[in-house]
Structure 1
């Protein structure tokens, strides 16, 4: 490894930040390529949508840029964005581009993806709650790093670029399979149009079945949350009974249905999987038992359908959008096609096959991203020489 010293420089010497705002509603009938935090979290790709659908100000991204999320930097979100006249991003992002005499866009992207940079932003973030902390663009510009010579920078970009291409290919396959999954939804109803099974009210095939558990001061409980769009449950950590004001909470049981009453129009409903049996949730999360006519795995896929979410949305009550609720009796009035159980099981098996393939591909992506993070850190910190990994990564 060369003994040449890499100079320490601030980001501001090599990079400019851009804050050109636009109100999408002023663009009338145009379609915009929109880089948003939800889109990043969903599939890592921007969304093309009508300007009229975007109510708040956005930053223009007229040239290729690196976008770094300032919101909750403990979750690194860095995008190599393709710019254009109709491209915008959330104002939660810092829009960065190299100065003419600075580094390449590819190296800037790697620099902002590296763990040391992400940890710096997290340390400097501030906010009144843990879920709404923000860093400042000034923190980005003040960040100092060791700058490799230009030839080494570009070799590092090429090495990491090969890993990024593998990740992109896997993500493309995942997106394609998700489209197939969404397009296969008619299987759940036993067919399309007139071939669908007869509609039945959910109250005919499931019933409210809430089991309460007392919060004992010295006992440990595991808290669950329900994800939107039927995406399942999330482990929200454990707590002692003495740490909550609730005297009792709802107990989750494998195979039961659980939904969130608040903002039910976002589709927070799922079937409790085996690994969440015995978890608890507040009384905002009622549970239901299915009759023997319904296969729980079939209903798990039903929970992921926009058709169910729309029916839930049609029944929510309340005056403020973010506080609207769906009560259990309202859910039970939803009417959906319910095929014979054997057809339900066949449909669920087909949907499972797609789902399991996506899960496997995501595991590959996670493995590659872990490898990428370690490799990038080692290269920028000079723990390994780029020559040692060229042709290997």
Structure 2
């Protein structure tokens, strides 16, 4: 990613508004406090982000992994195997592109729970690490950038897979429809993007290689007819994306997360709400630390259009340019270790990573309307943000 977005303000606003036209705020059916706590801790919140555990996802990813290298392939193979072991549909999107160091091969990993679903909630992170030509810089492992986000996405898929299966059983049995769950036709898709980092100086041609390729490909690829999509118009793959949630630069202590786009201000608020309710329930407390929303919260409250208008250049830009609705979950300011050898395991903060795992589990569960068997019940749905409200806040 690179400082502030170099796209013009008008272009970013146009794309944001275009996204609003097709991706309007939806109801979030809030989990009861007991269900929220259960889902947040369905699986160990530290196991997969503990670099000292050789079986953890993070341990498998936390190596130098620039594009078109053996290490990059090893990490990609691990991502693919992990998602295939869950019986998700996994596609490897390979292509070559010219770089300042000649032609390189890149491969995106696309994991989809239900490839026949008409709509998709996309969560994404890049799995490559920045290329450095000489030692010792070439040992850069990019712990926050973005080994931890990738590990968290794998953990999320494993944690929620059973609930996704149970939801599908209810849908197939006719026990759940759009009257019960607005997201009944929405599946979860996870993208691991290659080639986010620039090989030299960040430019529009030397950066986000995988995202540029995939956004262009999906914008021109039409879906085959399917019984699940029979009530929908002919769709490109890109048009099935409801929201594109990009994670980056996460894992260091106490990040600040900001809202960058008016069209997803409401979605930002829902993620912040997941955090605040977890905090109020005591889930974010540690033995020697009590969570305080005013001191410990990750999400900067929205106020007018401050800090927005395009945000930070990252893998979302090619999708934004094509009208996709974006929620960019990135620490700003960047971690102090950004693009240095210090962005290693020592930069990470376990309570913060646990915190993220719980927030993501609750946020995605509420977005997709997941629920536990014999649930104690859900709270009333949140009110969708009005157009007037959206015009006043990011």
Question: Which range, TM-score by smaller chain?
Answer: under 0.3
Q: Determine which structure has the larger strand proportion and give its number.
A: 1
Q: What is the TM-score of this pair, normalised by structure 2?
A: 0.21
Which has the greater radius of gyration? 1
Q: What is the TM-score of this pair, normalised by structure 1?
A: 0.21
